[in-house]
Amino acid sequence: MDPNQFDREKLHEIISNYRDRRWALIPLLQEVQEEIGFIPPESIEPIAEALNMFASQVQGVITFYSGFSLKPKGRYVLRVCRGTACHVKGSRSILRLVKKELELEEGETSPDYRFTLETVACLGACFLAPTMMVNRDYYGRLNPTKVASVLGEYRKDKEDD
């Protein structure tokens, strides 16, 4: 999957649905993020034009929220929690392990766009520390074996494709 081959017509359609509705910048961006998986930088200027804003303003909103990304992300986004509780429970080692397994640094995406590795300050599931999320699924009480099995699940998925 090459994420730069996204559906440009769809993008265009989303933007035109919001034309002249300045207040709707965030819903628009959410829809683009949801549909395309990221917000293509080339869409910033058309969005700004449609909403009568400056392109720099649109970019400011995109970069402010971590929910929006200007870079294509992998099919599976891993968020390893680095909050206090998880830290005490050894999330540093968990992160190190995940990095080693996936050969990715924080914020990076694998060349095949399968995995993206991110860290977050807290997932709000401290009772399960140390935790991480893959897309919308939580994985708690992690240990090296569990990490390997979770990653294995998502890797296995690859062969199924």
Partner 1 sequence: MESIALTINGRKVTCRTGDSLLSVAEKNGIFIPTLCNHPDLKPYGACRMCLVEDEKSGRLMAACVTPAAKDMAVLTDTERIISHRKNIVRLMIAEHPESCIVCSKGNRCELRALAARLGVAETRLYPMPNYKPYEELNPFIVRDLSKCILCGKCIRADHELVAAGAIDYNDRGFPSRPATLMEKPLEESTCTFCGTCVSMCPTGALSPKHAGYVGTPEKEKDSVCGFCGAGCSLALGMAAQKVIEVNPSKVKGSVNGATLCVRGHFTHDYLNCEDRLYEPMIRVRGENGEPELRAADWSEAVSRAAETLAGIKRTHGPGSIAFIGSPRCSVEENYLFQKIARVLFGTNNVTSTATINGQALLRRMEEKTMGAARITPIAELEKAEAIVTVNSDMGHAVPVADYHVRRAARAGTPLVTIDTAKTGLAPFAGARIRPDNSTTDPEDRIPALISALVLKIADINGHDSDFVSRFTSGWDSYKTAAKKLLAGQPLSPAEENEIARAAEMLAGRKTAIILSPATMEQRHGARIAEASFNLALVSGSLGSRNAGIFIPSPESNTAGALDMGVVPDMLPGRIPLSDQDGREQLERFWNTKLSPDPGLDLSAIIEAAESGHLKGLYIMGENLLRFLPEPDRVEAALKNLDFIVVQDIIDTRTARLADVVLPAAAFAEKSGSFTNMEGRIQSFTPVAAAPGRALADWRILGLLAQKMGYPEQYATIEKIRQEIRKTIPMYAALGNQRQEWVKNSEKDTPFAGNGARFEFGPIEPHKPADTKPEKPFTAVLGSLRWHIGGGTRTARSSRMKKWNRDSHARLCPSDIVALGLEEGGRIRIVSDHGSIERSFIADSGLTSGRVFVPLGFHENDAVSLAGLKDLKPPAPAWRTCGVEIEKI
Question: What is the binding site for partner 1 (CB under 8 A)?
Answer: 41, 44-45, 49, 52-57, 59-60, 63-65
- Burial of 53 per CB tally in 10 Å (0-12, 13-18, 19+): middle
Comparing CB distances to partner 1, the nearer of 61 and 148 is 61
Comparing CB distances to partner 1, the nearer of 59 and 93 is 59
> From the CB of 49, what's the least distance to partner 1, in Å?
7
Comparing CB distances to partner 1, the nearer of 57 and 84 is 57
> From the CB of 64, what's the least distance to partner 1, in Å?
5
Q: Residue type for 40, please?
A: P
Picking from 5, 62, 55, the residue whose alpha carbon sits closest to that of residue 33 is 62
Query: What Å distances lie between residue 104 and 41, 68, 74, 111, 134, CA to CA?
Result: 23, 20, 12, 10, 15
Picking from 94, 108, 96, 114, the residue whose alpha carbon sits closest to that of residue 158 is 114
> From the CB of 103, what's the least distance to partner 1, in Å?
26
> From the CB of 92, what's the least distance to partner 1, in Å?
21
Comparing CB distances to partner 1, the nearer of 57 and 135 is 57
> From the CB of 52, what's the least distance to partner 1, in Å?
8
Displacement of CA 105 from its chain's centroid (Å):
14
Q: What angle do CA 7, 10, 15 make, to 5 degrees?
A: 130
Please give the Cα distance from 26 to 41 (Å, whole number).
16
Comparing CB distances to partner 1, the nearer of 27 and 60 is 60
